[in-house]
Every structure is written in structure tokens, then in C-alpha cells.
Amino acid sequence: MRDIKVQYLAAAVAAALLGWSGFVSHDAAAQKIVCWKDKAGKTVGCGDKVPPEYQDNATRELDKSGITRKTTETAEERAKREAQEKALAEQKADEKKRLAEQRRQDAALTNTFTNEGEIDLKRDRDLQVVDGQLVQMRVSHKNASDRRAEAKGRMDATIKGGKPASDAQKDDLARAEADVTKAEQGIATKEKEKEEIRKRYADMKARYIALKGGGTPAPAAAPAPTAAAKK
């Protein structure tokens, strides 16, 4: 319905312009018709020139038959379109970088290992290093736990004897508790690191097999014993 009204309005304006054909040149009579919109996008008028107060609004340029030949955007629409185009360009650039990095990693993977078994061996060596660190951390955790128990025992004995715990006793207990917490956090971090290593090598192995055309995986060697297992 709105398009019909606009075409009608444009045709009326065209007729009015043609009515001046006896007084103006042919070029003036055949000049373009422009319909302009308000901020809400509703067409509010047509003529041969957009009023100053509507210069930043969207417009439709029509021929003398009322057929749309050209449209323009509002400043807001143009800004939105340009922002979308910029975001799309950035997305394409990021994807291009990602693909280039994937190609680099794939080349490094196939050049480093000759079969899947070598990937398993490298995984096991990395896990063995972390296991060795965990052994040391668990020793530190036990020592801290023992110090905490001793500090708490001394404090409890003092209190049981009818005296308040001294500041030194409180400090000893606080330091021991802090050491226990720190050791527990370190152990948890290393356990998480082991999970990440397993996942990373699993992904690496799957990618390697895919790059090699899905060949039959070579048998993995038995993992080397950890420091904890040796004990």
C-alpha cells in the first residue's frame, strides 16, 4: 500500500513537473524525482530536491513514471552497514590466519613424527616428567601436613594447660596451613596438566592419522615406569 501511495505521489509530482514544460527546458521537465523519509522510515514527501531537514534521512530516487531507480541510506544505516562489512573483513582475516597456522602446525607434525607410536612415546615422556614433579610435591605436602599437626598439637596442649596460645604458636600453625594449601594447589595444577597433556597428544595423534590418510596406527610402546611406580 505504501509503495502504491509513493508511486502515486511521485507520478503526481512528475505530472506537475511536466506541466512546466512550456516554461522550462526539456531537461528540467525530465529531471529526477526524489522521495524522502522521516526518522521512522516513512515516506513523507517527494520533489526535485530533498529539503535540508531531511538531508541525512533515507531517500528514493524515481523516474517520471514513479519507478524507483536509486536509494540512499541514512547515516545510521550506513554506519551499521560499514560496521558489518568491517566485522566480516576482520572475520575473514582471522580465518585466513587460522588456516595458515593450521597448515604450519600440520607441517611440523608430519615432519616431527614418522608414525603414531612416536607420538605416544613423546606423550609418555612428558607425563613422566610431570609424575616426577608430583612425587616431590606430595613429599612437600606430607611434610607440611606433619608440621601443621605438630603446631596444632603444641597449641592444643598449651590451651589444655589453661594458658592461651602464644603468637608464635599461632604463626607456626598459620604458616604450616599455608604450606599445606600451597602444596595441595600445586598438586591439583599438575594433575590438570597431566589431563591436558593426554588430551593434547590425543588430538595430535588423531590429526596425524587424518593427515596420513587414516592409516593403521602403529602399536604404542608400553609407558616408562614413573618415579612413584619404582618405589
Cα–chain center distance at 145? 42
Task: Say what the pTM is.
Answer: 0.56
Query: In this structure, are 149 and 225 located in the same domain?
Result: yes
Q: Could you tell me the residue range of the domain that residue 94 belongs to?
A: 77-112
DSSP assigned state of 154: H
Query: In this structure, are 38 and 96 located in the same domain?
Result: no
By the 8 A CB rule, do 140 and 185 touch?
A: no
Query: In this structure, are 220 and 145 located in the same domain?
Result: yes
Query: In this structure, are 62 and 105 located in the same domain?
Result: no
Task: List, for residues 10-53, the tens digit of each pLDDT value.
Answer: 555 454 444 434 434 444 445 678 887 877 777 777 877 788 88
Query: In this structure, are 165 and 57 located in the same domain?
Result: no
Query: In this structure, are 81 and 157 located in the same domain?
Result: no
Query: In this structure, are 130 and 199 located in the same domain?
Result: yes
DSSP assigned state of 41: S
CA–CA separation, 200 vs 196, rounded Å? 6
- Overall residue count recorded for the chain in this entry: 231
Find, among 216, 208, 213, 202, the residue nearest to 105 by Cα: 208
Task: List, for residues 182-201, the tens digit of each pLDDT value.
Answer: 999 999 999 999 999 999 99
CA–CA separation, 230 vs 151, rounded Å? 33
Domain count, the chain: 3
